[in-house]
Structures are given as C-alpha cells and as structure tokens.
Amino acid sequence: MQRALLAFYLAPCALPLPAQNLVPNPGFEEADSCSDQLPPFMGIHDWFSVNGSPDHLRSCLPYGDFRGLPMNFFTYQEPFEGASCAGVITYWQIGLTEGREWIMARLLEPLVVGRTYYCSFRANAAFGGTETNPQFWLANDKVGMRFTTMPMPAWNYPDPYPVPPNHAHILYPQILADTVSWILVNGSFEADSAYQYVMIGQFFNNALTDTLHLAPEVDPPNWYPRAYTLVDAVCVSDSPEGCDLGQGVGDGLTTGPVLFPNPAQEQLIVAQRAGAEVRVVDALGRLLWQGWIPCDRWLLEVGSWARGTYGLRMVYRGSLESHTFVLTE
C-alpha cells in the first residue's frame, strides 16, 4: 500500500491537452490519389465544392501540370505547409455574371452557441502561371471564412451561381495582393448558432468588392478580369492557442487577438490592454474616439456606427500597436 501511494504522489503531472483544430484535413493533404482528375476538387477528403469549380493543387503532380505545385496554370507558388493547397476564384466579372468559388468542410464537432472561436487560414494571390494569356490578373478584398448549420447544395454547370450573402464571420478587409508571401487571415467571433460547416472564399458581390490590377488590361481583352486566391492551413478552435493568430508571447503581451469578435456587429471588446492610450479612426483616417482604456476587458459599443472597416491605434507599455476591425450587418 505504501509503495502504491508513493508511486501515486511521485507520478508526473499530466500535460495539458493540445487545443483542437475543428477543421478536418486543414492543409488539403489527404486525397484518394494524385491524378489530375475532373471535376478538379473530386477525391480530396472532407472538403467539397459548393460554388464554381475550385482546384486541388498538389506537388505530387508533374512540374507545370494544370494543377501542379509550384508551377501550374494559375501561378507559381510553394504551398504554405505540406505538399498541397486549394485554389479558388474570388472575383469574376463577365458581363452580368459575377463568379465565385467556395469550398466547404464539415467541422469535427458543432460550435457551441455563446462560445468564442478563433479562426485562421493562409492565403496568397495568384498571378502568372503557364497560360499564355493569363486568366487571373486581379486581386480583391474580403477573402474570408463563413459558417453554416447545413451544407450548401453543390453547384453544377450550367446552374446560375449562388447569390453572395454579403456576410462573412472572418475576413481579410484589405485587398489581398501579395503574390509572393502567404498572408495570415485570422479573427474570432462568438457563435450565435450551432454551426457545423465552414466555408472558404469571397462572399460579397462585386459592388461591395474592391479590386487591384496586378497587370495592365490588354486590348483586345484576351485576359479575363478574374482574381484567384490560394488557401492553406485552415483552422478553427475554441482556444486562442489552437490557431495561428499572428501574435507570439513576449514583452508581457497576451496571446490571442486583442480585439474580438472581429468582424463585429454591436459590441467590440478590447482585451488585456488596461492603461493603453487609444485612437479609433475610420477608413479615411478621421478620428472617431480617443481616450484611455480603464480595464482589461473594455467594451466599445459600435452598433450605431456605419458598417465598414476601422482602425484602432494604441500605445501600450511604450509600444505602438495598430489593429483593424470590421463592422458587418
């Protein structure tokens, strides 16, 4: 008995369980085979297409293959991690047609209503590739992540494209125009439904979308006015340590996002910045509010503010921080 008790008390403490990523196959690595088969997103595990014909790009395909990596029809790019990534059209204007491609996966477990979730993925703007007349020479804003309780029906040609909902739970508000580096898209939100599915793409119509030319338009217009975005390393977690939020530990700063939920609707919380001097500006740089944050969970009422993008600049412990938040309907 004494030996058993001694062994119990000397046993090492259990290590904390790692935060779980609720997204299956987050790097698009798992697939049935390495053939460049059609439809282009068929055979990938857990993910499926619900709009357009997105692409599964893979390093196992020959160099320069239509969907190979790093060189393919659309661009030249190494995956952010592993040997695969996804590619989706995020802007397309042909006459009255507004094309989009959305990909979707069922989460490993439903989200819990009222709980805050932290989300991220990596994105890269495509340009170049093997096509003589490049198909994709624009970059666009509002690439993001959207959650649903039910799967969307699959789109099939010649069905009309689904109407954009003009809403995303997580988005990159600036034009995503970096064709070299993988950009981190991240944020957090409080679940208002038991969401079971995550979607990646651009969910706003062209009138609400800003674009940038990566190259001049040619005449005659052999190039199509489209934007194409690569996606990798998708993550959803109920812990700020579960996903890549772009903020390391050090200099006394907290982990996880300082602002949440982001995008916001009625209220914005600034966490762990008691004593910071703050200035809030609109998209044109006009000062809307300035003052001091009195506590580590400061609440900013934004329900009456115009929907759009805002900047929050603060001086905290001698360091200047700049953050962006978005107000949506």
Same domain, 62 and 121: yes
The secondary structure element, H or E, covering residue 234 is strand 226-237
The enclosing domain of 145 has a CATH number of 2.60.120
pLDDT of residue 301: 87
* Single-letter code of the amino acid located at 170: I
Kindly state whether residue 7 falls inside one of the protein's structural domains. Answer: no
Angle, alpha carbons 262-193-209 (nearest 5°):
45
The pLDDT value recorded for residue 263 is 84
Indicate whether 203 and 280 sit together in one domain: no
For residues 204 and 162, the answer to whether their CB atoms sit within 8 Å is no
**CA triple 189-195-200, angle to 5 deg:** 70
Range of the domain at 139: 47-237
Asked whether residue 252 is domain-assigned, the answer is no
Q: Please, where are the H alpha helices in the chain? A: 2-10
Same domain, 57 and 133: yes
Residues 325, 326, 329, CA angle at the centre, nearest 5°? Answer: 150
Predicted pLDDT of residue 8: 29
Q: Are residues 147 and 228 in the same domain?
A: yes
Surface-to-core class of residue 48, CB atoms within 10 Å of its CB (0-12 exposed, 13-18 middle, 19+ buried): middle
- 12 is a domain residue: no
Residues 227, 160 share a domain: yes
89 shares its domain with 196: yes
Residue 201 domain-assigned?
yes
Q: Is 268 in the same domain as 190?
A: no
pLDDT of residue 204: 94
pLDDT of residue 217: 66
| CATH code, 281 | 2.60.40.3080
Same domain assignment for residues 57 and 96: yes
Residue (of 161, 186, 162, 160) closest to 172 by Cα position: 186
Is 0.85 surpassed by the pTM of this model? Answer: no
Please check whether residues 90 and 190 belong to one and the same domain: yes
Supply the pLDDT for residue 2: 35
Residue 23 and residue 198 in contact, taking contact as beta carbons nearer than 8 Å: yes
Residue at 247 is within a domain? no
**How many structural domains is the chain composed of?**
2
Spatial separation of the C-alpha atoms in residues 297 and 235, rounded to whole Å: 25
The answer to whether residues 128 and 201 belong to one domain is: yes
Give pLDDT, residue 6: 31
Q: Are 212 and 125 found together in one domain?
A: yes
> What region does 43 belong to: left with phi over 0, alpha with psi -120 to 50, or beta?
left
* Residue 70 located in a structural domain: yes
User: Is the domain of 183 the same as that of 272?
Assistant: no
Residue 24 lies in a domain: no
- CA distance linking residue 146 with residue 193, whole number of Å: 12
Q: What is the pLDDT along the chain (329 residues), one digit of tens a residue?
A: 333 333 322 333 334 456 799 999 999 999 988 877 667 787 899 999 999 889 999 999 999 999 999 999 999 999 999 999 999 999 988 766 788 999 999 999 999 998 889 899 999 999 888 887 777 889 999 999 999 999 998 877 778 888 899 999 998 988 998 898 999 998 888 899 999 999 999 999 999 999 988 876 665 566 678 899 999 999 999 988 888 877 433 333 344 456 778 888 888 888 778 888 888 888 777 888 888 888 877 888 888 999 988 888 888 776 667 778 889 88
